[in-house]
Chain A
């Protein structure tokens, strides 16, 4: 279903509603993924779906209903269900009117036809290139190659109209040697730019260079996190920048804005138009997204809002609504950490003794307000001695406050899009002093 078809369908559904206010969203997705292990494809999948969601508002009462059955009877029934639910819902005195939208510009490169048209043969070719790298090293590999396209259209009775089409693709590779592993990844809206051989080579190099890992003592270490690792660590701070978390007291920002929580070289923004991760220029209520500077030179400046929280806190709507209904409030989903001035190699060369971390695993929040998280290193952890990477180390568990870590850090000059998340993240490599490890493991 293209954008014109989605827009026509949205108008048709909107016309079925007699609620005071109505919002209709249409989402489509075609997602294909080839997953492999031990140089065999074990999962090779494609899915295609299109769905309609209706939010009906009667006075201060709201109901939502959704379906992917798109015949006339089902659409009519879905609108009817949303209205019936709204009639039974209690009033919410803080409910805001649906936004009236506004002009938006889709960032360049968000949609690439070659990705949308990608075949299973293209993904098999990527997998085969990765297999050959593994075979040449006598390693075994596991990972995936994926391509997907998605479309989203919103129309509401207050005049908001917006459509977006985007594509995405990715490669994720873990190389497995006798007693070591290595990781590589690449993501892009344009599948033709992904270099499977190169990504596999990075993963193989890490596996090779971390062979015969030695155990090191837990405690405080200087660490250099590659973008994949830093992104995974930093991502757990994202929810703190929500107006809901701020107001309810679970965010570190609840202690006050305009305070220097981090070191001066930390600047964090939310911007859908970053060329490394171009995304939808409006939110899931149809409100144009504003680029927002959340932290400037270490000082927390603001948080993001949607229509509900903008009204409740008497602030501007920054256009960060998630799909309705949700219990999470507005979220910053296009996060960017500003790069520093030094190259990655300079950060390594300036480190007398430290650890280089390729990737983390199973990070979870230990303390919400203090933003303490725990997790494990994986797939390429190295010792740095006198400015050089000297060998692999066994993996370790950390317990570390993200806020404290960003108080003693510096960044590389080369940001990357990282992670296979539902939100986008562009971050550089990070060097952090006094990073706290609490225990080790057996590999």
Chain B
């Protein structure tokens, strides 16, 4: 049977068993990973996963069942299970919780790609990684060199009892390098690009954009140099963060706290709540006037770019922080309804096995008007940090501490000596209010995050945070090495 036929059977079975609304999402996911490590191929894998996840709404309670059994009997079992689970929830419901989405669409979407990565011979892909990884080994102090490529191809079709039929073909690609240098009593790591590699939606052109071969030797040399670099000082300094670190900063201190499910306590027992409470909407000064952050699921090459989210809502752009003020959230149908708004299409599931939930999408810190080099002007005594190594933030998303792989002293506007083990810490609103310059669009990059964890059962989301380097005044640095 085709997915269309199986979907019709699933939705019909759910309705007959009492579902007031139901939707089902069929997915075929192909994941390929190549990882070279110290001259050998540590991972060369190709996995296919096919299945479907079905939501049923009964008496305002949701049930979700996912299965890989595509036989008619399997479809019937999963549909019945989703309804049974919803009914079990309804028996203890204090009041109706969920409602059907307001819109239905018949449409399709495909990630634009220049070159399909699977057309690149496997041997060529392996050779690229072996060559790049070899170049990391600039001395025997490089104990571990790694290089990797990830390819994900997701084909999915969403159907609902409202009449939606949305077919999507999503392609995501990433690659990176890492060098681990070992010295007397310490190790130092350098990663490229950014802190996890370059991940975007698209094809082989994303691998070419990463320029692994051209940068590998420099990365190896930097890892080795860090072993003998000075320790990052402690105190208060002006800091400039590289683009990938700004990307992580907005991920942790804006992207997660602006998830409306988190604001409403849905994640309270695990990943926490949020200081961006609904009562603060339109009133809270989150950052300085130059800080504007929006979501845009239509952004070309954004890691999270799709045509529709997994509740069947059409992708769009909407503001979260405008001129420093809190003006919006990342929302689902149920959460948006509770504050009198409509979903802005931020609901996705890791794969067919998982229930759709609010996930960060492409979260963009709008670029400023200063060239990157201009950020250093006016910094008398500061530190420039790049590439995240450590990240931690409290369960309201206020108190944070981040560490980077590498830093340079800034004296009188000039980049100076190398510093190791840089860390900085602060409270989110104070930190973003200290932002007084953001680099321009020439250094603005859609940094993809392929491994964002949230939810129970834990789901791994693929997000993007588009960012340019930025400058922050009077920040606490050098914490973390007291233990």
Contacts and interface: CB of A to CB of B under 8 A. Distances in A.
Interface string B137-148: 000000110100
Interface string B61-78: 111111111000000001
B187 interface: yes
Interface in B31-87: 35, 37, 40-51, 53, 61-69, 78, 81-82, 84-86
A127 B92 contact: yes
A43 B481 contact: no
Contacts of B482: 399, 436, 438
Contacts of B456: 33, 35, 43, 144, 146, 172, 420
B40 A37 contact: no
A438 B479 contact: yes
B64 A46 contact: yes
A40 B481 CA distance: 43
A66 B47 CA distance: 4
Contacts of A374: 390, 392, 401, 480
B367 interface: no
Contact of B88 (A69, A121, A397, A420): A121
Contacts of B49: 49, 51, 67-68
Contacts of A362: 392-395
Contacts of A174: 268-269
B22 interface: no
Contact of B67 (A41, A47, A376): A47
A177 interface: no
Interface in A239-262: 248-250, 254-255
A41 B92 contact: yes
Contacts of A439: 399, 401, 425, 479
Interface string A295-335: 00000000000000000000000000000011100000000
B48 A37 contact: no
Interface in B253-282: 261, 264-270, 272
Contact of B457 (A33, A41, A85, A438): A33
8 contacts: A44-B63, A44-B88, A45-B65, A68-B48, A142-B265, A364-B390, A398-B483, A438-B425
Interface in A33-77: 33-35, 37-51, 53, 62-69, 74
B126 A90 contact: yes
Interface stretch (A3-11, A104-112, A365-373): A365-373
B126 A369 contact: no
Interface string A132-159: 0000000010111010000000000000
B405 to A, nearest CB: 12
A142 B266 contact: yes
A443 B427 CA distance: 12
Interface stretch (B112-120, B309-317, B349-357, B464-472): B349-357
A89 B41 contact: yes
B64 A44 contact: yes
B395 to A, nearest CB: 5
A81 interface: yes
A49 B67 contact: yes
Interface string B413-455: 0000000010101010000000000000000000000000001
Contacts of A399: 401, 479-483
Interface in B373-408: 389-396, 398-399, 401, 403
A92 B182 CA distance: 23
B130 A325 contact: no
A337 interface: no
A94 interface: yes
A37 B64 contact: no
Given A400-B483, A404-B483, 18 more contacts: A44-B62, A44-B86, A45-B63, A45-B354, A63-B45, A120-B85, A120-B89, A125-B92, A144-B269, A144-B456, A146-B457, A248-B144, A325-B42, A325-B45, A372-B480, A374-B480, A397-B399, A442-B399
Interface string A418-443: 00100000000000000010111111
A173 interface: yes
Given A176-B268, A249-B187, A327-B146, A65 B47 contact: yes
Contacts of B42: 325-327
A140 B82 CA distance: 27
A316 to B, nearest CB: 22
B305 to A, nearest CB: 26
Top 3 nearest A-B pairs by Cβ distance? A249-B182, A120-B88, A142-B268
Contacts of B130: 90
Given A94-B40, A140-B265, A374-B392, A68 B68 contact: yes
Interface stretch (B93-101, B159-167, B209-217, B295-303): B93-101
B457 A31 contact: yes
Contact of A49 (B51, B64, B81, B267): B51
B135 interface: no
B208 interface: no
B122 interface: yes
Nearest to A119: B88
A283 B270 CA distance: 30
B394 A376 contact: yes
B46 A81 contact: yes
Interface string A360-386: 011111111110101110100000000
Contacts of A397: 392, 394, 399, 401, 425
Given A44-B85, A64-B45, A325-B43, A37 B266 contact: yes
B390 A365 contact: yes
A12 B51 CA distance: 23
A417 interface: no
A327 B479 contact: no
Nearest to A140: B265
B477 interface: no
A67 B48 contact: yes
B180 interface: yes
A105 B390 CA distance: 41
